[in-house]
Amino acid sequence: MVGKWVGSGSRDTELFPISAEQWRIIWESPPSGPKHGMLLIFVIRKEKQREVIAEKISNMTIQNQGANWRLLSYPPGQYFLKIVAGDVTPWSVVVEEVE
């Protein structure tokens, strides 16, 4: 596991290193009330901070609880996540390299 983050609001993660060609993001975000919630995850490479390389990994209306994941193929480097949460608490996000 490269990193794990848990929260109840929006935030940027710290930088994390990726050395594999493929890696995945796993997220869980149960709705915090009767309304639907939303969790957006943006992947940003340190060297190209003005260029979002994987915009809106999760742009969903949450209707059921559970984990979701997405496989990514981006070059090795330093990355961080911009996590935008609305009506989800708590959320968790895990980044892991695929061997």
Residue 88's pLDDT band, with cuts at 50, 70 and 90, is confident
The whole-number pLDDT of residue 54 equals 57
**Host H or E run for residue 5:** strand 3-7
Which domain covers residue 83, as residue numbers? 3-97
pTM of the shown model: 0.82
Using alpha carbons, select from 29, 22, 24, 27 the residue that is nearest to residue 68: 27
Angle value at C-alpha 22, between 65 and 77, nearest 5 degrees = 110
CATH code of the domain containing 12? 2.60.120.380
| Count of structural domains, the chain | 1
Q: Look over the chain and give the mean of its residue pLDDT values, rounded to a whole number.
A: 82
Query: What DSSP letter does each residue of 46-89 carry, written as one string?
Result: GGGTTSEEETTS----B-S-SEEEEEE---SEEEEEEEEEESB-
Q: Note the pLDDT tens digit of each residue in 45-54.
A: 887 766 666 5
